């Protein structure tokens, strides 16, 4: 203790970086990985020196450096991430080496050439929060560098970091492309105008109905959190905070707001606090017609104001995103589109066809997605949507060559991520493509990336649940599926289907049967899992009846062909499934 007290202390900016997925890269090709790491470290070390930094820690794939200036540290991180991105562009997607970076400004202990203490530890934890190719910084760094670098920041809120006794405010540094997209999406359009075909929304400041001026912070916090979280959905154009807060405390007409800001949707709400309880209401309104589209009320005990705020925000955003998506698909069906359809509208039309899940409509959807790419070669969602058409073609054997269908699905899924790596849905698509070819590790990595980019998309938890279930991580799969279902007012059938898979492989057969029975229109895929569970519950007559239902609809079903499309990792899970279907009478 005395030794530590005698050490010199100082304020320093610490940069910590390491390679995302380094073990996977080494396992695939040790020589190439080490050669690439050496070349990339030369770039990083050179830039650290150029920005007047000093490396004081380096082990394996990691590097820790000290800077006197937070601005120089962040500029250095941006410079080497940009340089490495250029070097990675010529490498195959699964061989790209991407660094995660954390930067913190804090008090450190000096021990010879080494630095110790929370100032260093926080930087390391921030690096762990960053995704591949990203930079996360603490609030202390953001305060010092904002306005001094060209990039913007995404507020990730206060994070609890391992072995750090206080929450840390965290920001992600946005890429140049994201900065431009945010400028385009958050700038207020001219009155009555439309910047793009994407749905636009304004979140008006929530009213404080409790009469207590001290509760204004809660209402404002809800509003700001909703704006921040909605911007994670990159197909939503969200009006910036500074613009909508000009309406605070003013009587407003929603249609006037919609016209003035050029938005299609307006979200308004209120907060009422009484004693230890709080009531939050929210409603989504069509900015053009004034019609109410969705409303929700939340009554909570106010034990922890920030936990309540986070829960309400998450529930509103999750419900709202689905409602807007449903409304936009209805708009596409009705033909209510701009005079000159843009890429977004073509993708919406394609989505309607693709959702019918048959060969002919799948091909029609593909043609629309291809046209969308011709209209806008940088519209990443079109590439991801195109990948889905090839993936379902691969799964359903709708083409002469399943191998070619899969190759096309992988190519376009990777292209979507390449064009816009910050769009969470592109990573979800790539994860699904990896999964259905049995690449569980890369599937889960891609799906977790998508989830980190947008933790409000409940589909992401369900996609991840399915991948975890087939990877043998049954308990975690059930937890993710349950989380999505708990936050969904009207649970989609495919959520129940995914839960049934996780529960079956977790050997919770009766619970899995209950999940299938919750479905409004059970898909034949879910009935296969039902038959497996019925057999394992000793209900063989019911299992044979279920299988007969499947064979009546799909008389060409065979166990051998079907198993080629089910991505089990564990032999015992595969055998459980096979034994159940055979006992139910599935033809070989």
Range of lowest pLDDT (63-72, 88-97, 219-228, 420-429): 219-228
Residue found by looking up tokens 């450190």 in the block: 108
Which range has the worst mean pLDDT, 59-63, 299-303, 382-386, 558-562? 299-303
Q: In Å, what is the CA distance from 445 to each residue of 192, 440, 462, 467?
A: 43, 8, 15, 10
Q: Is 274 part of any domain?
A: yes
**Among 99, 88, 87, CA closest to 19:** 99
Q: pLDDT tens digits for 551-588?
A: 998 898 999 989 988 999 999 999 999 999 999 999 99
- Separation of first and last alpha carbons in the chain: 71
What is the pLDDT at residue 176? 52
CB 366, CB 386: distance < 8 Å: yes
* Domain end point (choices 122, 152, 174): 174
472: left (phi over 0), alpha (psi -120 to 50) or beta: left
- At residue 406 the predicted structure's pLDDT band, cuts being 50, 70 and 90, is very high
**Dihedral sign of CA atoms 454, 460, 465, 471 in order:** negative
Whose CA is closest to 484, among 461, 456, 464?
461
Give the residue from 343, 341, 181, 185 showing the smallest Cα distance to 261.
Answer: 185
pLDDT at 445 over 80: yes
Choice between 248 and 81, residue whose per-residue pLDDT is larger: 81
Instruction: With respect to residue 409, please indicate whether it lies within any of the assigned structural domains.
Output: no
Residue 355 falls within a domain, yes or no?
no
Phi-psi group of 112: left, alpha or beta (phi > 0 → left; psi -120 to 50 → alpha; rest → beta)? left
pLDDT tens, residue by residue, 470-508: 999 999 999 999 988 887 767 889 999 999 999 999 999
Considering the domain architecture, whether residues 44 and 17 belong to the same structural domain is answered as yes
Residue 187 pLDDT exceeds 70: no
Same domain, yes or no: 7 and 146: yes
Paired tokens of 127: 């690096």
Q: Of 189-193, 397-401, 433-437, 575-579, which range is least confident?
A: 189-193
Confidence category of residue 245, pLDDT binned at 50, 70, 90 = confident
Does residue 310 lie in a domain region? yes
Q: Are residues 26 and 168 in the same domain?
A: yes
Question: What pLDDT is recorded for position 274?
Answer: 73
In the prediction, which pLDDT does 581 show? 96
In this predicted structure, the answer to whether residue 334 has a pLDDT above a threshold of 50 is no
32 and 169 assigned to the same domain: yes
132 with 212, same domain?
A: no
Looking at residue 297, its pLDDT comes to 82
> Could you identify the residue written with the tokens 């004034």?
290
pLDDT of 151 above 90: no
Q: At 478, which CATH number? A: 1.25.40.10
Listed residues 295, 318, 341: the one ending a domain = 318
Residue where one domain finishes, among candidates 293, 318, 343: 318
DSSP state of 242: H
| 340 pLDDT more than 80 | no
- Determine the pLDDT at residue 130: 85
Q: What is d(CA 262, CA 535) in angstroms, rounded to the nearest whole number?
A: 58
Query: What's the confidence (pLDDT) of residue 574?
Result: 96
* CA pair distance 373, 562, nearest whole angstrom: 33
State whether residue 159 is helix, strand or coil: strand
Whether residue 185 is found in the same domain as residue 111: no
pLDDT in the model for residue 184 = 40
Q: Are residues 143 and 292 in the same domain?
A: no
Residues 155 and 275 in one domain: no
Comparing 12-26, 38-52, 179-193, 309-323, which segment has the lowest mean pLDDT? 179-193
- 169 and 201: one domain? no
Q: Are residues 21 and 162 in the same domain?
A: yes
CATH of the domain at 311: 3.40.50.10610
* 184 plus 170 within the same structural domain: no
Per-residue confidence (pLDDT) for residue 473, from 0 to 100: 96
Is residue 208 a part of any domain in this protein?
yes
What integer is the mean pLDDT of 396-421?
Answer: 91
CA nearest to 511, candidates 541, 545, 484, 474: 474
Using CA atoms, how far residue 99 sits from 44, 74, 84, 392, 451, in Å, is: 10, 14, 9, 33, 19
Phi, psi of 271 (to 5 degrees): -130, 130
Overall number of domains in the chain: 3
The rounded percent of the chain whose pLDDT value lies above 70 is 86
How far, rounded to the nearest angstrom, does the alpha carbon of residue 145 sit from its chain's CA centroid?
Answer: 27
pLDDT at 524: 80
Please write the tens of the pLDDT for every residue from 156-167: 777 777 778 788
Average pLDDT, the chain: 84
Q: Write the DSSP assignment of 276-326 as a string of letters.
A: TEEEEEEEEEETTT--EEEEEEEEEE-SSHHHHHHHHHHHHHHHHHHHHHH
Question: Could you tell me if residue 103 is inside a domain?
Answer: yes
Q: Which of the pair, 398 or 176, is modelled with greater confidence?
A: 398
Which residue in the block uniquely carries the two structure tokens 């309104």? 285
The overall pTM is greater than 0.85: no
- Are 372 and 343 spatial neighbours (Cβ–Cβ below 8 Å)? yes
Give the DSSP H or E segment for 195.
Answer: none
The residue ranges of DSSP E strands in 532-573, in sequence order, are: none
Tokens 């560098």 identify what position? 145
- Per the domain annotation, does 431 fall within a domain? no
Same domain, 222 and 110: no
Residues 6+ apart with CB under 8 A from 556: none
Per-residue confidence (pLDDT) for residue 320, from 0 to 100: 65
Confidence of residue 325 (pLDDT cuts 50, 70, 90): low
Written as one string, the DSSP assignment of 251-262 is: ---HHHHHHHHT
Q: Which domain holds residue 580?
A: 456-588
- The answer to whether 153 and 173 have CB atoms below 8 angstroms apart is yes
Highest mean pLDDT among 144-153, 215-224, 570-579: 570-579
413 within some domain: no
Confidence of residue 338 (pLDDT cuts 50, 70, 90): very low
Q: What is the mean pLDDT of residues 188-216?
A: 64
Judged against a pLDDT cut of 90, whether residue 53 lies above it is answered with: yes
Nearest to 257 by CA among 187, 191, 323: 191
């Amino acid at each position: 203790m005395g030794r530590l007290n005698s050490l010199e202390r100082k304020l320093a900016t610490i940069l910590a970086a390491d390679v995302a997925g380094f073990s996977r890269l080494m396992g695939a090709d040790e020589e190439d990985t080490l050669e690439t790491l050496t070349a990339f470290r030369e770039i990083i070390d050179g830039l650290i020196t150029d920005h007047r930094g000093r490396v004081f820690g380096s082990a394996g794939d990691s590097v820790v450096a000290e800077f006197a200036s937070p601005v120089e540290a962040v500029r250095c991180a941006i410079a080497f991430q940009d340089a490495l991105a250029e070097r990675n562009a010529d490498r195959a997607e699964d061989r790209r080496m991407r660094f995660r970076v954390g930067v913190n400004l804090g008090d450190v202990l000096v021990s010879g050439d080494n630095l110790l203490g929370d100032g260093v530890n926080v930087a390391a934890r921030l690096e762990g929060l960053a995704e591949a190719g990203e930079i996360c910084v603490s609030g202390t760094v953001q305060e010092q560098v904002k306005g001094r670098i060209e990039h913007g920041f995404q507020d990730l809120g206060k994070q609890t970091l391992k072995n750090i006794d206080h929450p840390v405010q965290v920001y992600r540094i946005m890429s140049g492309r994201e900065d431009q997209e945010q400028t385009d999406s958050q700038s207020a359009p001219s009155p009555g105008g439309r910047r793009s075909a994407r749905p636009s929304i304004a979140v008006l400041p929530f009213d404080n109905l409790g009469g207590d001026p001290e509760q204004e912070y809660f209402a404002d916090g809800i509003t700001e959190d909703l704006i921040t979280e909605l911007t994670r959905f990159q197909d939503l154009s969200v009006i910036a905070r500074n613009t909508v807060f000009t309406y605070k405390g003013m009587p407003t007409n929603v249609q006037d707001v919609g016209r003035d800001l050029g938005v299609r949707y307006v979200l308004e709400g209120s907060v009422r606090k009484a004693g230890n309880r709080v009531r939050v209401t929210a409603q989504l309104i069509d900015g053009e017609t004034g019609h109410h589209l969705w409303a929700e009320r939340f009554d909570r005990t106010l034990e922890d104001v920030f936990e309540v705020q986070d829960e309400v925000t998450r529930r509103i955003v999750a419900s709202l995103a689905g409602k807007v998506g449903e409304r936009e698909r209805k708009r596409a069906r009705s033909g209510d589109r701009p005079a000159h359809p843009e890429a977004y509208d073509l993708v919406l039309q394609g989505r309607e066809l693709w959702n019918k899940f048959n060969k002919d409509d799948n091909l029609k959807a593909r043609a629309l997605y291809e046209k969308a790419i011709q209209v806008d070669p940088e519209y990443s969602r079109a590439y991801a949507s195109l990948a889905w058409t090839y993936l379902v073609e691969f799964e359903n054997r709708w083409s002469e060559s399943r191998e070619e269908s899969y190759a096309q699905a992988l190519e376009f899924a990777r292209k979507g991520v390449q064009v816009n790596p910050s769009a969470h849905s592109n990573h979800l698509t790539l994860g699904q493509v990896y999964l259905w070819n049995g690449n569980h590790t890369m599937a889960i990595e891609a799906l977790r990336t998508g989830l980190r980019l947008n933790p409000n998309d409940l589909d992401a938890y369900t996609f991840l649940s399915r991948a975890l279930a087939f990877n043998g991580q049954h308990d975690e799969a059930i937890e993710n599926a349950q989380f999505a279902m708990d936050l969904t007012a009207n649970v989609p059938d495919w959520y129940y289907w995914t839960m049934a898979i996780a529960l079956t492989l977790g050997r919770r057969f009766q619970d899995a049967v209950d999940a299938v029975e919750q479905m409004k229109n059970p898909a034949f895929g879910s009935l296969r899992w039902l038959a497996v569970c019925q057999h394992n519950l000793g209900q063989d007559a019911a299992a044979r009846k279920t299988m007969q239902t499947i064979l009546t609809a799909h008389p060409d079903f065979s166990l051998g062909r079907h198993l080629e499309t089910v991505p089990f990792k564990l032999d015992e899970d595969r055998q459980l499934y096979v034994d159940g279907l055979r006992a139910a009478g599935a033809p070989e």
